[in-house]
Copies of this chain bind each other. A is one copy, B any other.
Amino acid sequence: MYSPLLAHIARYIALTPEEATLFTSYLKTQSIARKDFLLREGQVCPASYFVLQGCLRTYFVSEKGTEQIIQFSIENWWVTDYASMSQHTPTPYTVQAIEPTEVVVFDHEVQEEVFRCVPKLERYFRLILQRAVAAAQFRNKFLFGMSGEERYHHFITAQPGFVQRVPQYMLASYLGFTPEFLSKVRAKVNHS
């Protein structure tokens, strides 16, 4: 059950079998049906989630009422709202399953205790967070440094497999433009 997570951890630090068992004893799993919600706007985010299988989207609703996707989370990615979880504030985000999804739940309540028992994990999460910051910096650069059309082409070449997993209107939202615009960019490519 937890082996994809343990394999992921092993890429960063070496846990003893005992430490691994102790860690997993604090975890649980959760299944989310397609279109169901892992986290809803207004809730306090109660945990960090590791995607075992499936695909999630994190979005917020802008003032005009449109959904703005800020992240897709697939296998082997952690997802949470760190601000909401650590400061116990309502999250502005909604996390919804795009596919039937299975996640590992690492409750915030037990995180302190786990880090005390297995300090090595503090290191693992530090490294995971470094990657998350790097990814966020990259995304900012991506969104600002390119036009809408460039972002689309860059994304489909960088993530060719992923594109087929999400509807185009969600991809458009993630890339920062409208579904109509995406459709027109695609039409332009086909006719040339």
Distance, CA A70 to CA B136, complexed state (A)? 11
Given A129-B126, A144-B68: A137 and B62 interface contact (C-beta under 8 Å): no
The reply on A165 being an interface residue by CB < 8 A is: no
Distance, CA A145 to CA B173, complexed state (A)? 12
The reply on A92 being an interface residue by CB < 8 A is: yes
The reply on A109 being an interface residue by CB < 8 A is: no
Q: In the complex, how many angstroms separate the beta carbon of A47 from the nearest chain B beta carbon?
A: 14
Given A115-B123, A122-B122, A126-B126: A140 and B144 interface contact (C-beta under 8 Å): no
The reply on A138 being an interface residue by CB < 8 A is: yes
Instruction: Give every chain B residue within 8 A of A134 (Cβ-Cβ).
Output: 81-83, 86
Instruction: Give every chain B residue within 8 A of A144 (Cβ-Cβ).
Output: 62, 68, 70, 176
Distance, CA A127 to CA B143, complexed state (A)? 27
The reply on A125 being an interface residue by CB < 8 A is: yes
B81–A130 touching, CB < 8 Å: no
B122–A126 touching, CB < 8 Å: yes
Query: Chain B: which residue is nearest A141 at the CB level?
Result: B60
The reply on A119 being an interface residue by CB < 8 A is: yes
The reply on A166 being an interface residue by CB < 8 A is: no
Given A125-B126, A126-B122, A126-B129: A137 and B81 interface contact (C-beta under 8 Å): yes
B-contact bits for A134-170, CB 8 A (1 contact / 0 none)? 1011111101111000000000000000000000000
Query: Chain B: which residue is nearest A58 at the CB level?
Result: B137
**Chain A residues with a Cβ under 8 A of chain B:** 60, 62-63, 68, 70, 81-83, 86, 92-93, 115, 119, 122-123, 125-127, 129-134, 136-141, 143-146, 176
